[in-house]
Structure 1
């Protein structure tokens, strides 16, 4: 049997928050917003680099990518300043996916300012629930004008949307081929029922034909069920067949996924999920793809790539 992967890991999707010092509306006392995991009260506690490093102890996690944590929406730059200060003092995170509201009047100004931070590589703006016509912000012309500015500022886009909206994401990727679209949480494969998985696979299959799309395999928990290798093996196998390891990257989604599994358990579980892949592909999944896409700082050996996709990844059928 191939040994389980024990090489370097870059966690491509994690969060920090200090609930005593900063304002995150969804994490405030007496607040529960709709969440695909259900009641998330257990994560309403401060979680900082020291907590993350403790949780990752014993595993070779050499770097991480902070993803905006729905900080006060009136102050997107405040979050980036705070996280950049954490990085300066603690060494984590090594790259940042920042907050930006693409449909706001100041979108271009905010994008320019975010791009000015040393660790910012991308932005996230969740496109929200669909309207009566089934369209989210991804189909809104004002939002798309903001999206069109990303390439000018050298920024990628982090997409978090359920698989049922990925047809809109495919149109974005086609219309803006110069912008790397990073699909968060594996396209949210949902409850794992057969019909759901078929719909999810078809949606991801379309995205896989587009060369400017990569996928973060993160946030794979299911409400009311423990995280398990068995439940996630079909998802991993499908993603590997569609995208290849060079367009996939591991993300813990911690501390959120800590409601279901420890970080050590998650890392060990993912090592089992990919153990049949050649070692080079395992390393791509756990480290090399994230290094290429996010160019993280402070890993000992600084990446010099430009975030472009490999020529050997799947781009068409």
Structure 2
């Protein structure tokens, strides 16, 4: 069996920052550390941190007075920030800086009098947080069909922003539909979608071209992992989203199958290694890494943490 690894794959700078924030908080403040929502959407990462003394909560009322609280990489709304202040909790904000950028864009548009339209998945934590960061009504749309249901007067000042983890192609299609209906609409370039999402999506397209089958290692709750699987499927290749090697099935493979492997931005490389080990139990492997974009982005840690020496 030939295995081709996508490049880049796995952890992005925002996830690295979020996970490191939690690990450093444990080292510098001691357990328990409380995290509102899963720090990233990967069960292996979450369980590993839970074993070290992290407690994940959905409501700040679950956090004891004076306890250290961390906001997840997905971001939170102003109501959560205010609740933390009211309870006088010590907070470390691990929101991905690229998500914070979207919050800032939305607030700026609202302050200028625009009706803001958010392109995103209803109910996703990032979307909930973004909606809660903009002090004005925001319209949420996910696809072209929902764009067609909008009914703004012709001269309504409109602006759009986007969830960071969506498919670049899908987002472009929605933006073009908005522009067609409302030519005066303003918004960021679709290239402003998270650099890591763009790079991984480009890599999985290339991977699909040279593979018989594609495995995306990640969580079904991870929007960017689901998108990678969808992109691979759209290429016409059998594609599976799996959490780890235990999900690999022998019947997926024939003699001489070329298997492409990539991983979502919240997936640690250890889970990719676990999948490779599972494949090695099926057949001898020939492994190569697809040439691709190297990422050197680093984000500063939240205020209140000292970096490891």
Q: Same fold (TM over 0.5)?
A: no
Which TM-score band (shorter chain)? Answer: 0.3 to 0.5
Q: Could you say which structure has the larger radius of gyration?
A: 2
- Taking structure 2 as the reference length, what is the TM-score of the superposition? 0.34
For CA contacts below 8 A with separation 6 or more, give which structure has more relative contact order.
2
- Taking structure 1 as the reference length, what is the TM-score of the superposition? 0.33
Greater strand content: 2
